[in-house]
Amino acid sequence: MNHPGFAVPALACDCHMHIFGDPDIYPAAARRAYDPTPMELDAYNAEAARMGFGRVVFVQPSAYGTDNSCMLDALQARGPSSRGVAVIDAATDAAELADMAALGVRGVRLNLVSNGVPDPAAAIAELQAAANRVRPLGWHVQIYARPALFTDLAPVVADLGVPVVVDHMGATDGQLAAARPGFDALLRMLADGVCWVKLSGANRVSRQAAGFTDAVPVIQALVAANPAQAVWGTDWPHIGPHVAGSPATVVYLPHDNLALLHLLGAALPDAAQRQAVLVDNPARLYGF
């Protein structure tokens, strides 16, 4: 595809993607679900130029654990047009957090999928601990979780005192005609203004092999719940399926980012909504 079907607004922001560097410089974590292979900043910058995007948010991938060096080096190289979302643990000290903030990190990520799904009590404890660490910095906590977990997380989120950003449309499956208690809980959190959502991962949401048009109603439902707290991302370089605890060489799926952007346009035909999702909302969330 050569064009997304609408004029991409100036300063559009890709709010979810990953960088993978030379494994001799950036080794993978001992606990991981896949073995990354290089997908470096130059390749991403070319893709961003093809899309007409001026801003980007680098998200620490699970394969690197809490070693954020690859993401931080990408932040430093890209400069003021970028922000970052890190992964930390109890060993990450205040000086490290301050250094990350100076480079443009604005949040931390809890991946409750790629390395195994914890029980609800463990997930809540992780979420509260992360919020306590980042609250003084004014950062947010980003969550990647299966839909069922949102039913348990919802009562906690409003009291965290930090913004909460939900990855990949809440990982629902595009079949909104069926009962979806977890997705309904996410919609309520959005409507109440206690969380944000990333309209990324249409291919993850869809049950289709291509096109992913069954993701359109999901996008529309999320934006209708709160158009001021939705952002979009490519999810580049489209990491293929992986299994927690059984790492194999990653497969990058050949999804066309312009086609995914075209899908966003089909879901949001109103230019003002696209402006909000692609430019205005990311500017507020990430401090551009």
Residue with tokens 């430093």: 76
Tokens of 78: 């890209």
Q: pTM of the entire structure?
A: 0.95
How much is the pLDDT for 1?
84
Alpha carbon distance 10, 12 (integer Å): 6
pLDDT band at 3 (very low <50, low <70, confident <90, very high): very high
- 60-85 burial, b for 16+ CB within 10 Å, e for fewer? bbbbbbeebebbbbbbeebeeebbbb
Nearest to 281 by CA among 190, 203, 180: 190
How much is the pLDDT for 18?
98
Rg (CA), the chain: 17
**Domains delineated in the chain:** 13-286 (3.20.20.140)
Q: What are phi and psi of 13, to 5 degrees?
A: -120, 125
How much is the pLDDT for 250?
95
Nearest to 260 by CA among 84, 56, 51: 51
How much is the pLDDT for 120?
87
Look at residue 56 and tell me whether its pLDDT is greater than 90.
yes
pLDDT band at 245 (very low <50, low <70, confident <90, very high): confident
H or E element that contains 19 = none
H or E element that contains 148 = helix 147-157
Q: What are phi and psi of 257, to 5 degrees?
A: -65, -35
Local structure of residue 215 (DSSP, 8 states): G
How much is the pLDDT for 252?
96
Burial class (CB in 10 A: 0-12, 13-18, 19+), 144: buried
How much is the pLDDT for 161?
95
Contacts of 49 (CB under 8 A, 6+ apart): none
Residue with tokens 């970028």: 82
How much is the pLDDT for 282?
98
Over the stretch 122-132, which tens digit does the pLDDT of each residue have? 889 999 999 99
Burial class (CB in 10 A: 0-12, 13-18, 19+), 283: middle
Look at residue 265 and tell me whether its pLDDT is greater than 80.
yes
CA distances from 253 to 52, 86, 165, 210, 242 (A): 22, 24, 25, 12, 12
Look at residue 176 and tell me whether its pLDDT is greater than 60.
no
Alpha helices in 79-135, H assignment, sequence order: 94-103, 120-134
